[in-house]
Amino acid sequence: MRNVAIVGIGHTGFGNLSSMDLVDVLGFASCSALEDAGILDQRRDLVEQVFVANMGAGRVNSASAVASALVSRIGLEPAMAETIENGPASGASAVKLGMMAIKSGMVDCVLVTGGELMRAVSGWEGTDFVATMLHTEAEYAYGLTLPSFAAMFTRLYMQRYGLTERELAMVAVKDHENGSKNPYAHVKVPCTLEAIHDGENANVVNNIVADPLRLYGMCPVSDGAASLLLCATDSPKMKFFKKQPIRISGVGSATDTQCVHLRKDPLVLDAVRLAAERAYAMAGLGPKDISFAELHDAFVILELAISEEVGFFERGKSREAVVKGETRIDGRLPINTSGGLKAKGHPLGATGVSQIFELVKQLRGEAEEGRRVANPKHGLAVNFGGFGNNVVATICSREDV
């Protein structure tokens, strides 16, 4: 079967871009990816297919069919174009579908762009919109939201494994440290344990949002876009690309019950485990081969839980790795080197693409000083949809390993 490489990457800054047009935001990231690949002027000849990952443009931005709009905005007609919606996992799903399109032999070169403008609406409306991915009758109708489920998950995890609020805060401090060095991050300001947990004003700075989760236990609401250019490694088009190709060595995805209460053990994230197992199997790798990871920490508890499900740590033990500094940038297994969703931000449709953008940056050795992983070979990204009911895992590898 054909191999697929990422040959160009692009990213907007994440933050508040609500004064911009969504298609312009998608267009900026897309043009950056085409420029990075060195084919901005030949794009019409080389790009055959475009996938756009987006969750809420129809509702939040009154814009539909955004893939068609993007193609027109950046002059890529007559490329084929489709919009992919898979909740917060839309981004990695679009990359997966791009890879499948190439592996099928139908096309050689695919542009995948994910983006979202969530701050076009109020926080209340945004929270409500995101909650529409929950079960309409048994969850959403009650006012339950994603932070509600993350908080209930956290409480149960704390009770079962003895996780403390201080340890959760340490995850946030680590992520913000990385995010402060990432030029694309929404929050570029580092925070200290003193400020968000140990100090006398910590309760004010880091107030409870969904007990026991505090403000620094969750990601900001962000706008932004990220883009990747994919190409078959056996394609004659490869000669046009200027940058070191990074191989997509494994992709896996899996689903779980939509209602969280239907899971036998609410702390077990089966879809994460299965998605990772499928990605490892495709890549011929295991958790011990992974040099660094981008894990979907929309809530910091998820960084811990996902790191256990993908096999990095035993269940309940990831907190010990955090305390020992093993997941810091200079640790044994750096996690969320970009700052993660926690600091970099979480524009839903962009997130999965942005995670893979970070894998490519690290594997090329292009990450900024102070957040660069030493000699990475394989990176894992986990993009988590719903409250774990649709998860996509992607492994990227250097071509020379």
Partner 1 sequence: MNFNFSKYGPKKHEVFAYKCPGCGKLYYPAVMVCDQCHTRRDPSNYFFKDWEKIPLEGDCTLLTWTRVYALPEGYMKKYQDFGIVEFANGLRASGQLDVATPEIGMKLKSSVGVVKERVGKDNYGFIFVSP
For 64: left if phi > 0, alpha if psi spans -120 to 50, otherwise beta; the answer is beta
CA 361 to mean position of chain CA atoms: 14
Within 10 angstroms of residue 68's Cβ, the number of other Cβ atoms is 16
Told to check if 139 binds partner 1 by CB under 8 A, we report yes
Considering only residues 173 through 212, tell me which ones interact with partner 1, judged by CB under 8 A. Answer: 207-212
Indicate which single residue of 137, 200, 369, 400 sits in contact with partner 1 (rule: CB under 8 A). Answer: 137
Binding mask 232-261 for partner 1 (x = CB under 8 A): ---------------------------xxx
Cβ distance to partner 1 smaller for residue 9 or 151: 151
Told to check if 304 binds partner 1 by CB under 8 A, we report no
CA–CA distance, 219 with 340 (Å, rounded to integer): 9
Cβ distance to partner 1 smaller for residue 153 or 292: 153
Indicate which single residue of 59, 73, 103, 155 sits in contact with partner 1 (rule: CB under 8 A). Answer: 155
Indicate which single residue of 20, 40, 63, 156 sits in contact with partner 1 (rule: CB under 8 A). Answer: 156
Told to check if 100 binds partner 1 by CB under 8 A, we report no
Within 10 angstroms of residue 149's Cβ, the number of other Cβ atoms is 21
CB 127 within 8 A of CB 134: no
User: For the packed helices 348-364 and 90-103, what is the interaxial angle rounded to 10 degrees?
Assistant: 60
Cβ distance to partner 1 smaller for residue 59 or 377: 59
**The residue type at 351:** T
Count of residues of this chain found to bind partner 1 when the rule CB under 8 A is applied: 36
Told to check if 262 binds partner 1 by CB under 8 A, we report yes
CA–CA distance, 306 with 282 (Å, rounded to integer): 19
Question: How would you classify the pairing of strands 80-84 and 390-398?
Answer: unpaired
Can you tell me which residue has the tokens 């968000």?
196
Cβ distance to partner 1 smaller for residue 158 or 238: 158
Two structure tokens written together for 10:
């692009």
Selection from 3, 5, 4 nearest residue 363 by Cα: 5
Indicate which single residue of 98, 147, 339, 345 sits in contact with partner 1 (rule: CB under 8 A). Answer: 147
Two structure tokens written together for 278:
């499928």
Indicate which single residue of 1, 19, 41, 124 sits in contact with partner 1 (rule: CB under 8 A). Answer: 124
Indicate which single residue of 122, 164, 201, 203 sits in contact with partner 1 (rule: CB under 8 A). Answer: 122
User: For the packed helices 123-131 and 146-161, what is the interaxial angle rounded to 10 degrees?
Assistant: 70
Indicate which single residue of 127, 192, 233, 255 sits in contact with partner 1 (rule: CB under 8 A). Answer: 127
Told to check if 143 binds partner 1 by CB under 8 A, we report yes
- Sites of contact with partner 1 (CB under 8 A): 122-125, 127-128, 131, 135, 137-139, 141-145, 147-148, 151-153, 155-156, 159, 207-213, 259-262, 266
